[in-house]
């Protein structure tokens, strides 16, 4: 990490990183949470981080979202879920920044934008002594208790971290009305919308003109019912991800891992509430839908199954906001894994990260795949999911889908055909474990390695450009609109 050259506004992207509980992270002596929200800048030209800084400690900030200028939203993934709304009274300075002009990374964040996350909480009693909520801290007030402090978080000093100026913060804490919230997004007509994974519900928390919670939240909690065949994972509904239907700002979709459904909710703008409107997509039993992304033209929805290890292609009908699955492709696993009886160990002649190809044909356009004349392994046809994979996040860059693959600890990259079908996966090994979330800043992929390895920056060939030493990272977001 560090700065090799003068930075420009266009080159430098502002990032926020949420983390997750880990036995490998020492517990602070004050009894507060070890988890935190971090801030950094990223140079898109060199692929390197700079000015990495711990902003504040908060219990289990597993997902973040960027709101109005200076506002972050963070879910605290606890048994009694909370939304932490952090208003920064000052902005961490950008190196070589000018005092005037529009600040990139200050755009609003809407539901379905997968380049945004949120997580941060802080509580300060009247005497000014900092008390971290959760893990031994003081209980949070009900509703939107507001606290204020001038808090300058300090990260452990080493050669890879640099200090930032103090940032004043105003924090509000709101219950989410459910258990283990794992995702949040912001809709301009509703406010903050939170997916409560543990209780299988979605919460609406209305916001004022400044992006801060109105009193009395949560203002709506919509609970789902359902189950699936996978023992221990699908005994009940599990809302995992909330996103907008393609081209429709009045329809929210919710991936329900517990019941193998993508649920549909209509937005009532006058009443600022959600109306449950049935099921948008019925997926095969045992899919365990986690995250999803639309094609650029909105004709196809792609849903990654955490439990079946496949990317499902869904033909989408915008008029009815519903879809029908038409096919699926397994994500790629690490080279040498047994893929339900298919041997992928024949990756000879590949001078680079381990790659396994699973599908009917090699993926063209990726270095390291079995392209004629290229240095790569031979493709092994296999239409069954790899053993030892657990997909996490799914994103799209142009005509390529990128799936994070836990257990195998890599990225599975898939070309999209003109007919919308998902090509076989090319695996890119990562320098750590448990890739829970990633952010695409072409040509780079920033990957949160929750198990170990910090936040790694890799290109599409798996080459590592930089690593930010953030403990147990779970989410990476930016406020910049990414094309």
DSSP string, 357-389: EEESSPPTTSTTS--TTSS-PPPEE--SPPTT-
pLDDT in tens, 434-444: 999 999 999 99
pLDDT at residue number 380? 33
Sign of CA dihedral 339, 345, 347, 353: positive
pLDDT at residue number 133? 30
pLDDT at residue number 381? 35
Residue 158 φ/ψ, nearest 5 degrees: -155, 180
Q: Distance between CA 103 and CA 107 in Å, rounded? A: 9
pLDDT at residue number 387? 62
For the chain, which residues score pLDDT lower than 70? 1-10, 90-110, 112-167, 335-387, 480-483
Q: Distance between CA 436 and CA 449 in Å, rounded? A: 6
Pair of tokens at residue 183? 């995702």
pLDDT at residue number 308? 96
Find out whether 303 and 331 touch, Cβ atoms under 8 Å: no
Pair of tokens at residue 46? 């060199």
Q: Distance between CA 14 and CA 3 in Å, rounded? A: 15
Find out whether 153 and 56 touch, Cβ atoms under 8 Å: yes
- Cα separations in angstroms, 373 against 246, 363, 369, 376, 459: 39, 13, 10, 9, 21
What predicted TM-score, i.e. pTM, was given to this entire model? Answer: 0.79
pLDDT at residue number 44? 95
pLDDT at residue number 183? 98
pLDDT in tens, 274-318: 999 999 999 999 999 999 999 999 999 999 999 999 999 999 999
Average per-residue pLDDT in the chain? 78
Q: Distance between CA 134 and CA 173 in Å, rounded? A: 12
């Amino acid at each position: 990490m560090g700065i090799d050259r003068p930075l420009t506004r266009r080159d430098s992207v502002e990032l926020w990183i949420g983390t997750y509980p880990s036995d490998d992270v020492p517990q602070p002596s004050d009894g507060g949470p070890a988890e935190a929200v971090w801030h950094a800048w990223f140079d898109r030209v060199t692929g390197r981080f700079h000015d990495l800084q711990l902003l504040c400690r908060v219990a289990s900030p597993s997902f973040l979202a960027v709101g109005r200028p200076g506002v972050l939203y963070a879910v605290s993934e606890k048994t009694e879920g909370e939304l932490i709304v952090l208003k920064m009274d000052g902005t961490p300075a950008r190196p070589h920044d000018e005092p005037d002009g529009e600040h990139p990374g200050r755009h609003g964040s809407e539901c379905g934008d997968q380049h945004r996350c949120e997580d941060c909480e802080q509580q300060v009693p009247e005497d000014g002594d900092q008390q971290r909520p959760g893990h031994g801290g003081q209980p949070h007030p009900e509703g939107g208790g507001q606290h204020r402090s001038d808090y300058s978080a300090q990260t452990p000093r080493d050669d890879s971290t640099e200090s930032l100026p103090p940032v004043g913060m105003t924090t509000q804490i709101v219950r989410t009305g459910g258990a283990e919230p794992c995702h949040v997004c912001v809709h301009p007509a509703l406010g903050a919308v939170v997916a409560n994974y543990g209780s299988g519900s979605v919460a609406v928390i209305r916001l004022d003109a400044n992006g801060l919670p109105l009193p009395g939240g949560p203002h709506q909690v919509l609970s789902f019912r359902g189950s699936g065949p996978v023992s221990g994972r699908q005994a009940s509904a599990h809302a995992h991800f909330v996103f907008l239907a393609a081209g429709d700002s009045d329809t929210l979709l919710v991936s329900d891992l517990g019941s193998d459904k993508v649920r549909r909710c209509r937005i009532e703008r006058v009443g600022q509430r959600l109306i449950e409107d049935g099921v948008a997509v019925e997926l095969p039993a045992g899919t365990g839908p986690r995250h999803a992304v639309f094609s650029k033209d909105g004709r196809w929805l792609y849903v990654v199954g955490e439990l079946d290890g496949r990317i499902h292609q869904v033909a989408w009908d915008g008029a009815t906001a519903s879809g029908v699955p038409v096919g699926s492709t397994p994500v790629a696993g690490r080279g040498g894994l047994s893929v339900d009886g298919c041997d992928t160990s024949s990756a000879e002649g590949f001078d680079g990260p381990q790659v396994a190809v699973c599908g009917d044909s090699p993926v063209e356009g990726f270095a390291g795949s079995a392209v004629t004349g290229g240095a790569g392994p031979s493709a092994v046809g296999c239409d069954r999911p790899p053993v030892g994979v657990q997909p996490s996040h799914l994103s799209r860059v142009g005509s390529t889908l990128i799936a994070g693959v836990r257990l195998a600890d890599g990225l599975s990259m898939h070309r999209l055909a003109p007919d919308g079908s998902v090509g076989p996966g090319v695996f890119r090994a990562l320098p750590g474990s448990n890739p829970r979330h990633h952010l695409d800043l072409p040509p780079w992929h920033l990957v949160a390695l929750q198990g170990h390895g910090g936040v790694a920056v890799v290109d599409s060939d798996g080459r590592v450009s930089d690593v930010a030493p953030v403990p147990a990272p779970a989410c990476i977001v930016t406020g910049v609109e990414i094309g």
